[in-house]
Amino acid sequence: MSTMSRLLGVARSAVTYYGVPFRARRLEQFYSQFVHEGALCFDIGAHVGNRIRCWRGLGARVVAVEPQEDFFRILHRLYGRDPSVTLLQRAVGCESGEATLFISERHPTVTTLSREWIERIKTDPTFKDVSWSKTAQTNVTTLQELIEHHGLPEFIKIDVEGYEAEVLGGLSTAVSSLSFECLPVVRQIALECVDRLSQLGDYHYNWSTGESHRLRGNDWLDSQAVRELISSLPERSPSGDIYARVVGV
């Protein structure tokens, strides 16, 4: 049953991120405001690699980090021969070392390094059928180490299921723009991300919901305004992403 659950989970992710007509074109249109030809991008939590495909379509170089073995194999098969893509099978956190990965085989998009996050989201009916039945050890690096080895990125996507604040805790250099996931039921994580970015630079913020690939705000918000926005979201409202960019970019 474990093997079947794993295969179903992998298939679900592949269909979700590659099987929707016109999504690739919409994704490129969206990211073109952040990513330009020749830019370097970090994909933290690359999963099946649809962001890699998008950013390569825009002419960017990509460093993609993914700790799950099944999905790293997919990434290697799809992008392993591209000299402009660097694939790393590991996680990202506030310090380098080793950590336990809590794996949801049937719902691999919610595999996480955070046991606390699992306990908190179990109260959300959306996750009532989700279980984390397997663990694995994974190597952990930091954003700052990635920058030292690969250069300063123009954009970083962080989608690591409750570990976003830890990822930003390992960054000590302001980057032009980035995104991190926001789930209202655990909104404190997003607030911690805003606090960390405020320590690094003068950032303004916007947001999108789900896989809409569309910024919701007509204007970019300062750190206080985005904190108020995050705090005001109804607990059962859908997840989304917060986008941050340095003022003047």
CA distance 221 to 81: 40
Cα–Cα distance list, 238 to 73, 115, 122, 181, 210 (Å): 30, 21, 15, 11, 7
Residue 239 pLDDT > 70 = yes
Residue 1 pLDDT > 50, yes or no?
no
Q: Cα(64)–Cα(171) distance, rounded to whole angstroms?
A: 16
Overall average pLDDT of the 210-238 stretch: 93
Contacts of 248 (CB under 8 A, 6+ apart): none
152: closest CA among 201, 206, 191, 107?
Answer: 201
pLDDT at 146 over 80: yes
Note the pLDDT of residue 25.
Answer: 86
d(C-alpha 140, C-alpha 249), whole Å: 30
- The predicted-structure confidence for 107-131, as pLDDT tens digits, reads as follows 888 999 999 999 999 888 888 889 9
User: What is residue 193's three-state secondary structure?
Assistant: helix
| Angle, helices 2-18/69-79, rounded to nearest 10 degrees | 40
In Å, the largest CA–CA distance within the chain is 53
CA distance 93 to 104: 20
Amino acid at 24: A
- The pLDDT tens digits of the residues spanning 169-205 come to 999 999 999 999 999 999 999 999 999 999 999 999 9
User: In this structure, are residues 141 and 96 in contact, taking their beta carbons and an 8 Å threshold?
Assistant: yes
pLDDT mean across residues, the chain: 92
What is the predicted pLDDT for the residue at 94? 98
In contact, 186 and 236? CB cutoff 8 Å: no
Sign of CA dihedral 17, 19, 22, 24: positive
This prediction has a pTM of 0.92
Residues 6+ apart with CB under 8 A from 129: none
User: What pLDDT, on the 0 to 100 scale, is given for residue 23?
Assistant: 76
Q: What is the DSSP string of 32-50?
A: TTT--TT-EEEEES-TT-H
Length of the chain, please? 249
Q: What share of the chain is helix, strand, coil (3-state, %, to 5)?
A: 40, 25, 35
| Placement of tokens 């989304």 in the chain | 240
Amino acid at 223: S
pLDDT at 174: 96
Strand order in the sheet with 61-65: 85-88, 61-65, 40-44, 155-158, 177-182, 240-246, 203-209
Q: Taking each helix axis from N to C terminus, what angle separates 187-200 and 223-232, rounded to the nearest 10 degrees?
A: 180
| Residue 40, both tokens | 């370097």
Please tell me the class of the 2-99+138-246 domain. Answer: alpha beta
Predicted local confidence at residue 8, as pLDDT: 60
Mean pLDDT of 96-101: 98
Per-residue pLDDT tens digits for 32-84 = 999 999 999 999 999 999 999 999 999 999 999 999 999 999 999 999 999 99
Reported as a pLDDT band with limits 50, 70 and 90, residue 213 is confident
Sequence spans of domains, the chain: 2-99+138-246
